[in-house]
Structure 1
Amino acid sequence: MKLTVEISKYPLADDYIGPIKGFIDELNKTDDVKIITNTLSTQIFGDYDKVMDALQRCIKWSFERYGKVVFVCKFLHGDLSPED
């Protein structure tokens, strides 16, 4: 099964750019998923299990590294990535 996720991160700190970039960099270490980042959010496309494993790993990493942050996610069935 394919999955599309749109995720936004809101660090509860004055220095918010570093934690956002850190999360995106960590997420980009994931193989076999497509990641598109823009100014408002990051979209992740791929196999359901691989996308969910990446999110679980990176969200946990972010909490451990940066402390309190808010994540807002939208989950959509299917791979809705734009055509290359």
Structure 2
Amino acid sequence: MNISIELTLTPLQDNFEQPIIAFIKKLRASKFTVLENPLSTQIYGAYDEVMPFIQQEVKTAFENVDHILVNMKVVKSDRSNYEPHF
């Protein structure tokens, strides 16, 4: 089963850019399809492969920053090729 995940990582500190950059670089280095925009990052792949990867990367981010928030939306389908039809 393929899924699409939208992630927004928000460190609650003054120096917020570096943890975000490190998180996105880890996602980019994965074997999964990763798309970015100014507000979030999307990752696409098989559920049983993506979820353990995301779990580990979120845990790493949480261990490296004292106060941090992650928003995640999960859709059951691969939406990486979505194009508006309007």
Could you tell me the TM-score, scaled by structure 1's length? Answer: 0.90
* 3-state SS, counterpart of residue 78 of structure 2: coil
Q: Which residue of 1 aligns with 2:16?
A: 16
Specify the code of the residue in structure 2 equivalent to 1:17. E
Note the alpha carbon deviations across 1:43-81, whole angstroms, 9 max, x for none.
010100111011101001101112221001111001000
Stretches of structure 2 that go unaligned for 5 or more consecutive residues are none
> Once the 2 structures are TM-superposed, how far is the Cα of residue 28 of structure 1 from its aligned partner?
2.1
> Once the 2 structures are TM-superposed, how far is the Cα of residue 39 of structure 1 from its aligned partner?
0.5
Query: What is the aligned-residue RMSD (CA, Å)?
Result: 1.2
Give the percent of matched residue pairs that are identical in Structure 1 and Structure 2. Answer: 34
Stretches of structure 1 that go unaligned for 5 or more consecutive residues are none
Instruction: Point out the structure with max Rg over C-alpha.
Output: 2
Structure 1 consecutive aligned stretches of length 4 or more whose deviation exceeds 2 Å: none
Specify the code of the residue in structure 2 equivalent to 1:38. N
* 3-state SS, counterpart of residue 81 of structure 2: coil
For these two proteins, the number of residue pairs brought into alignment is 82
Separation in 2, partners of 1:49, 1:21: 25
> Once the 2 structures are TM-superposed, how far is the Cα of residue 30 of structure 1 from its aligned partner?
1.8
